[in-house]
Chain A
Amino acid sequence: MGYRRLSFSIRAKLVFFTVSIILLVGGGISWFDASVLRGQLIDHFEAAADQVDASTSAALVDALYFLDIPRLRGELQQAQVNHDVSVAVALDTQGRVLSDGSTDNPLWLQTFPGSIAQRLVDTRQPVHERQAGKIIKGRPVHSPGGGLLGFFYMEYSTGNLEQASAEAQQQRLLLAIAFISFGGLLAWLLAWHATKPLTCMLSAVREIGSGNLDVTLSTDRSDEIGALGESINAMASNLRRTTTSIERLNAEIAEREQTEIRLIEACDDAEKANTAKSDFLSHMSHELRTPLNAILGFGQILEMDAESLNDEQNESIREILVAGDHLLHLINEVLDLAKIESSKLEIFMQAVEVDEVMQQCLSLIVVQAEQRQLSIIDNISNRGYVVQADALRLKQVLLNLLSNAVKYNRVQGTITLDAEIIDGQRLRISIVDTGKGLTEDELARLFKPFERIESDRHVEGSGIGLVISQRLTGLMAGNMGVNSAVGTGSEFWIEFELVNSL
């Protein structure tokens, strides 16, 4: 079981410590004053007792000398006028009571009791003792000639001393209580005055802590508390600005999150649509290719029996085959794109000799290039470059780029093939034509599926060849790019990991 540590407010501590100081100082002063006063009272009583003792003893000389009891009684009564004298007795030389000041004189001629009186009689020397509540004094009384006449014994009550001391202490106690009460009130007022601004600040800080940043403290003081209030106001102002900024940022973040969610949803939708499209294309390609193959097969059969057909029929059959081939090529490209987008296209990475693949591709376009009177400058062949790629797909990419270089080149133009090793690790293969070149807008739409440049509508093509090439290059861990200048021509390049070179 633990103990909770007590916690006091600053105001309570101020009051407590101030009252404690007042108690210590006031109590100390009162105690010191009472002690001094008591000392003075004791001295006063001692002096008064000495005075009574001396004067009465002197006055008793004649009465004792004459053994005059009425006179003794009178002198003792005179001594007892002082109310502090509780016992005043005249003794004869044997210590017997001659008079105690009373008419009854009950101890008449009896030995006065008490060891001090006995010591006085035995020693015949003055005695002085302080006992509880009284001062005892006694002395022998001698005649002027020196003879012993008797003794004077006196008990001086200190009751009045104690009473006076008690009254003085009571007065000082009351004064101390009044002083402490007044001091406590002042301490409370001081603490209240000192902690009031702190309490206001505490309330303000709590308000700020609870979210109310519109709190403003009065800063009409020029001391530390005023500076603290200004600091709190500045802090609240900064917090307001910061909070406003955070709220604005939060709104923006929320808006962006909504946008992102919408984008993700759109992407998902697009992905689904694309997948559906790819599935459709793949399905349709298969569905289309089957009858198309039948058409092409029967066309080729008819072509092989061209002699039995007239020219017009042969021409028709040829157009059927050309259109069929084009359609089949188109369908295959669509099917490839569909496979790529649906991640169903398999890539077999291996070390591929670029020279060999390039030669195969050149052999396929050489006829078309000659038809357009194009010059091919081959700076690649016989260099022995080997790259990491899928040989079939690398050939497909190169063939696409070479075909485009032929198709989009000007008549009697040039196709330049270059190879460049980059950073010693990759091989960049460039195919540069001398066509019209591409505008910025055309460059932006160049790698989008089914996008065709408006000015080249007359050129045969599906519009997805470059897209397929770029995707295939990516699948083979390569890159594809284009540099083009309108009126000069275009440079298409691909990069692959270099395995080795001559």
Chain B
Amino acid sequence: MGDFHMSKLTKLIFKFSLLLAIPVAGHAGSITLGSLSSTPGSETTIFLPVASYLAKGLADFGITDARVRVARSHAEMADLMKQGEVDLFIDSSISALIVQRQSGGHFLARRWKKGISEYHSVIFVRKESGISQLKDLGGHTMGFEEPFSSSGYLLPASEMIRSGLSLVPVGQQAQSMGVGYRFTGADENTLLWVLHGRLDAGAMAGNKLAKLAASLQDELKVIYQSRTIPYHVVVVRQGLSILLQQAIHQRLLEMHNNSHGQQVLEAFEKTGRFDDIPANVLRNLQSIQLDPVLERQ
């Protein structure tokens, strides 16, 4: 994304041509944000202010309206983006990676949600478990949070697969010497089940484990730490005009610099700001192999 340097006259001619001939958004005259959720009502309430904020700064592109579309699955969201029904998709990095790869879009910015810009996942075991490294997990059981959890399943599972481990549902690992896994439903459950010996290992975000196991330093140990990836990112659909992408990118990055933008960010699940995704972090994200993981969902 390079800078564009045009004279005022050139800009005016270009904008005019855009207004007259180029479809700039999924619905003419509006910008649409997408989200994954099973509760579209509340989700729309959360996302619509951001969409409206962006729309107000894009009048030069003929955008006067803001919309929110909610999908229940990554595939549905990817289809909507491919159809031009959704212009921007904002979600956790793994979900965004899935949608980005399925829809053909690309990453536009990083979102600081609740003060967190990036994270990594860890795999932990009881200290007396005898497990000291990733490859020792073969034939043991492991807990992930839930199938769509980036830090609690997608990232650590992809890393484990990339490391040569095989993941099989609990009960089958003894035959295949793979790692038997099950979804616990919550990071707290994962921690407790490992702690009570119901599972041999667990995976979750490193900061989450630090918080949940603050008083359990003597009982647990981390045997693996994943690469760092963004916490939340913004994906823009394929086919949106470059000028409009740039305008959206600019407006997102400047959002935290004005009071109205700050208010909208605060209401948007305590978002601190949007910024560019550091290159190494983006590389980590883009190198994740999700297909083996997603096949198990």
Contact = CB atoms under 8 A, between A and B. Distances in A.
Contact of A69 (B189, B196, B216): B189
A494 to B, nearest CB: 153
Nearest to A93: B196
Could you say which of A68, A69, A105, A110 has the most chain B C-beta atoms within 10 Å of its C-beta? A69
B42 interface: no
A417 to B, nearest CB: 164
B186 A69 contact: yes
B261 to A, nearest CB: 27
Given A108-B212, A109-B215, A67 B196 contact: yes
B141 to A, nearest CB: 14
B186 A70 contact: yes
Contacts of A70: 185-186, 188-189
Given A98-B192, A108-B188, A67 B215 contact: no
A67 B185 contact: no
Given A68-B186, A68-B189, A109 B196 contact: no
B193 interface: yes
Could you say which of A68, A99, A110 has the most chain B C-beta atoms within 10 Å of its C-beta? A68
B198 interface: yes
Contacts of A67: 189, 192-193, 196, 198
A69 B212 CA distance: 12
B215 A110 contact: yes
A87 B192 CA distance: 22
A110 B212 CA distance: 11
Interface string B181-216: 000011011001100101000000000000010011
B170 to A, nearest CB: 14
A105 B187 CA distance: 13
Nearest to B187: A69
Majority secondary structure, A binding face: mixed
Contacts of B196: 67
Interface string B283-294: 000000000000
A70 to B, nearest CB: 5
Interface string A68-87: 11110000000000000000
Contacts of B215: 109-110
B181 to A, nearest CB: 17
A86 to B, nearest CB: 23
Interface in A52-79: 67-71
16 contacts: A67-B189, A67-B193, A67-B198, A68-B186, A68-B189, A69-B188, A69-B189, A69-B192, A70-B185, A70-B186, A70-B189, A71-B185, A105-B188, A108-B212, A109-B215, A109-B216
A69 B204 CA distance: 15
Contacts of B198: 67
Given A69-B192, A98-B188, 13 more contacts: A67-B189, A68-B185, A68-B186, A69-B188, A69-B189, A70-B186, A70-B188, A70-B189, A98-B192, A99-B188, A108-B212, A109-B212, A110-B215
Contacts of A110: 215
Contacts of B188: 69-70, 98-99, 105, 108
Contacts of B192: 67, 69, 98
Nearest to A110: B215
Interface string A98-137: 1100000100111000000000000000000000000000
Nearest to A67: B192
B74 to A, nearest CB: 23
A71 B196 CA distance: 18
A28 B59 CA distance: 76
Contacts of B186: 68-70
A192 B188 CA distance: 80
Nearest to A104: B211
A89 to B, nearest CB: 14
A91 to B, nearest CB: 13
Interface string A1-28: 0000000000000000000000000000
Contacts of A69: 186, 188-189, 192
A108 B185 CA distance: 17
Contacts of A71: 185
Interface string B153-180: 0000000000000000000000000000
Contacts of B189: 67-70
A109 B192 CA distance: 10
A99 B215 CA distance: 15
Interface in B54-108: none
Could you say which of A67, A71, A99, A108 has the most chain B C-beta atoms within 10 Å of its C-beta? A67
Q: Give 10 closest A-B pairs by Cβ, nearest first.
A: A69-B188, A67-B192, A70-B186, A69-B186, A69-B189, A109-B215, A70-B185, A68-B189, A67-B193, A67-B189
A319 B212 CA distance: 184
B30 to A, nearest CB: 34
A395 B188 CA distance: 167
Contacts of B185: 68, 70-71
Nearest to A111: B215
A98 to B, nearest CB: 7
Nearest to A92: B192
A69 B188 CA distance: 6
A68 B186 CA distance: 8
A70 B212 CA distance: 14
Nearest to A96: B215
A108 B212 CA distance: 7
A71 B212 CA distance: 17
A68 B143 CA distance: 13
Nearest to A68: B189
